[in-house]
Amino acid sequence: MALTVLVVEDSRSMRKLACQILQSNGYLVTEAENGQLGLDIAMKQRPDMVLCDIHMPVLDGYTFVEKAREVKELFTLPILMLTARTDKESLRQAMSMGADDYLTKPFTPDELMKAVRSLEKKLSRQQADTEQSLNQLRTAILATVPHELRTPLTTILGTSQLLVHRRKRYSEERQDEMLLGIHEAATRLSRTITRMMDWSELVAMGEDPSAEVNTEMTTDLDALNQRLQEDEFRSALLASLPPKDAENFKKRLTENPVQIRLGSGTVLFETEDLRRVILELVSNAVKFSIKNMPVGVIGKPIGIGLYAIEVANMGPALPPEFVKQIGALSQSNREQNEQQGTGLGLAMATLWARRNSAHIQWPRTDGKPTIVRLTLRTD
């Protein structure tokens, strides 16, 4: 199927030349004589790529790219800038606004087609990557979500059925145990659904180029450090761990509490988002830590304008492909290290970090120790 190319160029002769070259090479072509008209056409017709001049009346190429990148449907649209100027500042500005490539005028047919085909390959890679990600997500959902929903639901339905039809056969103490089991299963089910909804919301925000990024929200690290030492954080940590091994984990946390030391300062990160990121990173570290070995959380400045929070644990090494594919519904070596849960935690932590202009890395993955680092900006 032929691709559609929108040519936005105020020079009639240059516009017609570009259109003729593209049409002779099998592309469908739409044209516009200024940036505003081009933006309107792009919104309505959704071309596969755009060739856009920089200096035009009504709306120049810089503004065209800027406005296009503000629209969800045009956010990844490949854009090739056409310019008669070859100074680095002009080209740098075009690229910084969100253009994918540039071509200086005048150009030969071969030069134009080389640039266009390069964008076409990039578009194909994007589509292939998107499809691969969707396939991985579908597979992961089919592998994990039914189990995580069905297991607690089976407990709720089975136990409640026994209470409905055979309640008189059980002692009051046994009935209390059964009701507690129903409550715990319902809590787990509710938590799974809530986390999936939170993840969906974070993904939707990440895909929306108009969604605001937290740039002015700050966190006082002394206050956060105090919160992380309180029972509320410990209770949230226990609630995040697999219910099957809750008592074992509870004992391990009592014997080897998480050691948290955050240096003083202020970081550009919304407080509740940061608490949740640390919770997810610590929870993951505790799940895979070796028995009787503590999990450490250390925060310190690492340079001008930067602060790092590192979570370290002794446990199994992370396979290289795991770090590359951190995402929703994935777990490290699930077959060897079976853990209950959807695997949403690290994906959500990554999205919360991105929402606050921070990023997560694994500087060490050999388990001696494994270290995950959250790098933030300081006030």
> Which residue from 94, 106, 105 is spatially nearest to 61, judged by alpha carbons?
94
3-state secondary structure 263-313: CCCEECCCHHHHHHHHHHHHHHHHHCCCCCCCCEEEEEEEECCEEEEEEEE
What pTM was computed for the model? 0.55
Rounded mean pLDDT for each run of 10 residues along the chain, 379 residues in total: 90 93 94 94 93 91 88 85 74 79 89 91 77 63 69 91 92 93 87 78 60 68 92 83 64 74 93 93 85 87 90 83 53 43 71 87 87 90
Classified as helix, coil or strand, 155 is helix
Strand partners, 309: 299, 374
Q: Report pLDDT for 340.
A: 44
Q: Report pLDDT for 210.
A: 47
Question: Residue 373 gets which letter from DSSP?
Answer: E
Helix (H) or strand (E) run with residue 360 in it: strand 359-364
| Distant-in-sequence, close-in-space partners of 81: CB < 8 Å, separation ≥ 6 | 52, 53, 54, 61, 65, 91, 94, 95, 99, 101, 102, 103
Residue 378 CB coordination number (10 Å): 17
Decide if domain 219-377 falls under CATH 3.20.20.60.
Answer: no
pLDDT, averaged across the chain: 82
Decide if domain 132-207 falls under CATH 3.50.50.60.
Answer: no
Fold of the CATH domain 4-107:
Rossmann fold (3.40.50)
The terminus-to-terminus CA distance of the chain in angstroms comes to: 51
Strand partners, 102: 81
| Every domain range in the chain assigned CATH 3.30.565.10 | 219-377
Give DSSP secondary structure letters for 136-150: HHHHHHHHHHHHHHH
- Could you give the strand order of the β-sheet that contains 79-83, starting from the edge strand earlier in sequence? 28-32, 4-8, 49-53, 79-83, 101-104
Joined tokens for residue 62:
């810089």
- How far is the C-alpha of 365 from the C-alpha of 320, rounded, in Å? 8
- How far is the C-alpha of 310 from the C-alpha of 307, rounded, in Å? 10
| Every domain range in the chain assigned CATH 3.40.50.2300 | 4-107
